[in-house]
Chain A
Amino acid sequence: MDFNLTEERTMLRDTLRRFLADKYAHENRRALIAAGEPFDTGIYAGLAELGVLGAMFREDQGGFGGRGFDLMVVFEELGRAGVIEPVLPAVLAGGLIAAIGNGRQRGLADEIIAGTHVAALAQGEAGSRYDLNHVETTAAAEGDAIELNGIKTHVLYGAEAQTLVVSAREAGVAADAAGISLFLVPVNMPGVTVSGHRNMDGIPSATVALDDVRLADTARLGAAGEGLEALEASVARGLTAICAEALGAMEAAKDLTISYLKERKQFGMPIGKFQALQHRMADMLIEVEQARSSVINLAGNLDQPRALRESHASAAKNLIGRAGAQVAEECIQMHGGIGMTDEYALSHFARRLTMIDHLFGDTDYHLERFIALKAG
């Protein structure tokens, strides 16, 4: 065993951390969100240039990484800085295109790696909650075309994407595992209506209505009716990414709190001298280290067979959910009023940590899924 990062990953981490420390001031991020801008295209281009997007893909996919630890290293830094630029959709939708796309479709992955194209994953629906297999959107054969109908919800970066990777059902009923296919849908197709909004944590999202969207059957990504397996594998990569991002956000929130406890004086001394707070910081440190280990477990098992990979995915998401809530709530509490203000970075980390629990299954969901995976 070796818990050290490779030289390449250490370099990537260090350059990314410097780039973000230099360019990603909290005030700029706040101003951007307040101005209604979804994200900073200049920063996104900068991230692509640094190789952040390339690190999300394997060499045979046109990148130079693509392993669990590549995702972990990058997303921990993104989380630490509170980055809202669309790297996650590159992992989710871009990853699917690279993994199961045919030669022609994989051309898109090159553009995604270059940062010139955003593809977003459209899998959620009003009735699906966190179940990837709950798909009611239909894909019906119409001659040699396919017609999509349905509404996709919570499509992260949907309004900023040029292409959507849509899950739709070609056979079976709502929760069946079989019968789900994935389709590449350019957003400018007739019948596609994208309504954007912003999430609590500043991340742009969208609802996508698909009304008689006619696609050539070459738009299908992977084999007909067998999309769930690839979707689940891609979501496991997405879970690795957001768990690492949460870890970075926890580290940042913890660091802010440690500094504040040293700086803030009440009753004539730094509040960090009060044991009531010290012990809670100690507990927090323990939980953050546990969170780090659970992300390492997931990242290291990402390319293992499904049962192993998924039980680590659920374990990490459960633990991260618990630790994230503890860190968010405790850091706010130990700051007092200042911790609740929009102006101060902490509340943004707290929002991101909390909302990550609502992405791709929360603490409870993954607890049950873990039980089921271990039993099965």
Chain B
Amino acid sequence: MDLNYTKEEQAFRTEVRQWLKETLPNELREKVRLGKRLGKADMELWHSLLNARGWLAPNWPRAYGGCEWNAVQRHIFEEEACLAHAPRSLPFGLSMLAPVLLAFGSEGQRQRFLPRILNGQHWWCQGYSEPSAGSDLAAVKTRAVRDGEHYVVNGQKTWTTLGQHANWIFCLVRTDPDAKKQEGISFLLVDLDTPGVTVRPIVLIDGEPEVNEVFFDNVRVPAENLVGEENKGWTYAKYLLTHERTNIAGVGFSTALLTTLKHVAGRVKSGGRPLAENPHFAARMAQAEIDLMAMATTNLRVVSAAAKGQAPGAESSMLKVKGTVIRQELTSLLRRTMGPDALPFQPDFLDGGSNAAALGPDHAAAAAPSYFNMRKLSIFGGSNEVQRTIITKAILGL
């Protein structure tokens, strides 16, 4: 064992840091730093900057324009990007759909879709959940019926993150209603501009319409958009989920959050001294930091152990549970740090649409909304209860 970064890894870190310094526009950095909401254009800009450097797809093979970075390189990149207040790149095309296409798609589908993920022509969203299929994902009811060279799709998806910006959705659809529920599901790619698709936003607890309902009313989808084999979709869906979870520990985000937390707690005064010097609060911050230091290593241990290009198995459930708990704790501490200044709801400031100064110090406006928003971490991608069940069965053998 050697916990030191190699010379090459250190050089990589320097290169990433330098690139971020030169390339990340100030306006975008400030938005991320203050926890403002990013618009469609912000995300597209960030993707195009990464793509121009060839760094948009860390996990993909080089042949398709990816980086083929190993776990340590990905960790370094993520940490540097978060500390530089870079946006998070969108996972839906890059680390959800792409691994499925690479493993199970046709070469034609790879050639058609992968370049468009990179150049920003396609914005993907994830059409898994339905009103009655949440944790019990295999209960999806959205129907796809073969009709000549098309599938006709009817049904509803929900909780579709950023579906309002997307132009494509990958869906789990039921193609065989008579088979056992896991065995009648297919993985279908749908152009959201097709007639019969309706996208309706859902406003969440932080006031932001981050997710959507997507309705399908006799939507005709070319049969060539089926990934892999009909009725084998459940296998692909689960494969995708393990990839979805590889970055789920969110060590980079937590590291950046901790830095912000320490900075703010060092400035905010409580009883005449900085909050960071209050022994009680200092203890809570230290506890979170200790957990995070261990998590960084747990994450690398698990991710490095997986074969090249593959996702870790049930172990990723550990990363999901502990990683999200740590991140939620940090947002909770940041909210508490702001004291009464966490109270005001300032959507105009958060949307960046207003130049009005925020009430309270830096980070106050976003503190409560992001605390509330981060409750999602333990719900989506397989809830933390579902992850514990996976650990119980797959690792503990209970």
Q: Which residues of A are in contact with B by a Cβ distance under 8 Å?
A: 124, 127, 129-131, 153-154, 175, 197-201, 205, 207, 265-268, 271, 274, 276-277, 325, 329, 332-333, 336-337, 339-343, 347, 350-351, 354-355, 357-359, 362-365, 367-368
B282 to chain A, nearest CB (A): 11
Pairwise interchain contact A200-B385, C-beta atoms closer than 8 A? no
CB of B359 closer than 8 Å to a CB of A: yes
Q: Given contacts A265-B132, A339-B379, could you give 20 more A-B pairs where the C-beta distance is less than 8 Å?
A: A130-B339, A153-B341, A154-B340, A197-B359, A199-B345, A200-B343, A200-B369, A207-B359, A266-B134, A267-B135, A276-B385, A333-B375, A333-B379, A337-B211, A340-B204, A340-B379, A354-B372, A358-B339, A364-B281, A364-B336
CB of B46 closer than 8 Å to a CB of A: no
Q: Which among B211, B280, B368, B380 is the interface contact of A200 at CB below 8 angstroms?
A: B368
Q: How far is the CA of A266 from the CA of B134 in the complex (A)?
A: 8
Cβ of A359: which chain B residues have Cβ within 8 Å of it? 340, 343
Q: How far is the CA of A131 from the CA of B336 in the complex (A)?
A: 15
Task: Determine the residue in chain B with the shortest Cβ distance to A360.
Answer: B340
What are 24 of the A-B contact pairs (CB < 8 Å)? Answer: A127-B269, A129-B339, A153-B359, A154-B340, A197-B346, A199-B344, A200-B343, A201-B343, A266-B135, A268-B136, A276-B388, A276-B389, A325-B332, A333-B383, A333-B384, A340-B205, A340-B379, A341-B204, A342-B203, A342-B207, A351-B205, A362-B339, A364-B280, A364-B336
Q: How far is the CA of A359 from the CA of B332 in the complex (A)?
A: 16
* Known A205-B344, A341-B202, A341-B204; contact A266-B136, beta-carbon cutoff 8 A: yes
Q: How far is the CA of A130 from the CA of B270 in the complex (A)?
A: 8
Q: Which among A276, A342, A368 is the interface contact of B205 at CB below 8 angstroms?
A: A342
CB of B268 closer than 8 Å to a CB of A: yes
CB of B397 closer than 8 Å to a CB of A: no
Q: How far is the CA of A334 from the CA of B270 in the complex (A)?
A: 35
Q: How far is the CA of A329 from the CA of B203 in the complex (A)?
A: 18
Report whether over half of chain A's contact residues are helix, strand or loop; otherwise say mixed. Answer: mixed
Pairwise interchain contact A336-B375, C-beta atoms closer than 8 A? no
Task: Determine the residue in chain A with the shortest Cβ distance to B279.
Answer: A368
CB of B216 closer than 8 Å to a CB of A: no
Cβ of B359: which chain A residues have Cβ within 8 Å of it? 153, 197, 207
**Chain B 141-167 interface residues, beta-carbon cutoff 8 Å to A:** 158-159
Q: How far is the CA of A315 from the CA of B298 in the complex (A)?
A: 38
CB of B342 closer than 8 Å to a CB of A: yes
A138 to chain B, nearest CB (A): 19
Pairwise interchain contact B270-A341, C-beta atoms closer than 8 A? no
Report whether over half of chain B's contact residues are helix, strand or loop; otherwise say mixed. Answer: mixed
Q: Which among A124, A129, A200, A340 is the interface contact of B270 at CB below 8 angstroms?
A: A129
* Known A129-B340, A200-B368, A358-B339; contact A343-B345, beta-carbon cutoff 8 A: no
Cβ of A333: which chain B residues have Cβ within 8 Å of it? 375, 378-379, 383-384
Task: Determine the residue in chain A with the shortest Cβ distance to B134.
Answer: A336
Q: How far is the CA of A2 from the CA of B346 in the complex (A)?
A: 46
**Chain B 337-372 interface residues, beta-carbon cutoff 8 Å to A:** 338-346, 359, 368-369, 371-372
Q: How far is the CA of A267 from the CA of B271 in the complex (A)?
A: 52
* Known A129-B270, A197-B346, A329-B375; contact A336-B280, beta-carbon cutoff 8 A: no
CB of B238 closer than 8 Å to a CB of A: no
Pairwise interchain contact A368-B340, C-beta atoms closer than 8 A? no
Q: How far is the CA of A141 from the CA of B369 in the complex (A)?
A: 43
Pairwise interchain contact B345-A200, C-beta atoms closer than 8 A? yes
Pairwise interchain contact A343-B203, C-beta atoms closer than 8 A? yes
Cβ of B343: which chain A residues have Cβ within 8 Å of it? 154, 199-201, 205, 355, 358-359
CB of B242 closer than 8 Å to a CB of A: no
Q: How far is the CA of A340 from the CA of B202 in the complex (A)?
A: 10
B147 to chain A, nearest CB (A): 31
Cβ of B139: which chain A residues have Cβ within 8 Å of it? 266
Pairwise interchain contact B342-A358, C-beta atoms closer than 8 A? yes
Cβ of B134: which chain A residues have Cβ within 8 Å of it? 266, 336-337
Pairwise interchain contact A336-B135, C-beta atoms closer than 8 A? yes
Task: Determine the residue in chain B with the shortest Cβ distance to A154.
Answer: B340
Cβ of B336: which chain A residues have Cβ within 8 Å of it? 357, 362-364
Q: How far is the CA of A199 from the CA of B346 in the complex (A)?
A: 8
A220 to chain B, nearest CB (A): 26
Cβ of A268: which chain B residues have Cβ within 8 Å of it? 136
B161 to chain A, nearest CB (A): 11
CB of B393 closer than 8 Å to a CB of A: no
Q: How far is the CA of A342 from the CA of B202 in the complex (A)?
A: 8
Pairwise interchain contact B375-A332, C-beta atoms closer than 8 A? yes
Counting chain B CB atoms within 10 Å of each CB, which of A332, A336, A340, A363 scores highest?
A340
Task: Determine the residue in chain B with the shortest Cβ distance to A274.
Answer: B385
Cβ of A362: which chain B residues have Cβ within 8 Å of it? 336, 339
Q: How far is the CA of A154 from the CA of B346 in the complex (A)?
A: 14
Q: How far is the CA of A340 from the CA of B372 in the complex (A)?
A: 8
Pairwise interchain contact A197-B385, C-beta atoms closer than 8 A? no
Q: Which among B205, B270, B340 is the interface contact of A358 at CB below 8 angstroms?
A: B340
Cβ of A367: which chain B residues have Cβ within 8 Å of it? 280
Cβ of A351: which chain B residues have Cβ within 8 Å of it? 205, 372
Pairwise interchain contact A337-B203, C-beta atoms closer than 8 A? no
CB of B129 closer than 8 Å to a CB of A: yes
CB of B108 closer than 8 Å to a CB of A: no
Cβ of A339: which chain B residues have Cβ within 8 Å of it? 375, 379
Cβ of A201: which chain B residues have Cβ within 8 Å of it? 343
Cβ of A276: which chain B residues have Cβ within 8 Å of it? 385, 388-389
A212 to chain B, nearest CB (A): 23
A281 to chain B, nearest CB (A): 13
Q: How far is the CA of A339 from the CA of B376 in the complex (A)?
A: 10
Cβ of B284: which chain A residues have Cβ within 8 Å of it? 364
Task: Determine the residue in chain B with the shortest Cβ distance to A363.
Answer: B336
Pairwise interchain contact B205-A341, C-beta atoms closer than 8 A? yes
* Known A153-B340, A337-B159, A358-B340; contact A267-B346, beta-carbon cutoff 8 A: no
Q: How far is the CA of A363 from the CA of B332 in the complex (A)?
A: 12
Cβ of B378: which chain A residues have Cβ within 8 Å of it? 333
CB of B39 closer than 8 Å to a CB of A: no
Q: Which among A124, A129, A197, A332 is the interface contact of B344 at CB below 8 angstroms?
A: A197
Q: How far is the CA of A347 from the CA of B206 in the complex (A)?
A: 9
A313 to chain B, nearest CB (A): 17
Pairwise interchain contact B205-A267, C-beta atoms closer than 8 A? no
Cβ of B204: which chain A residues have Cβ within 8 Å of it? 340-342, 347
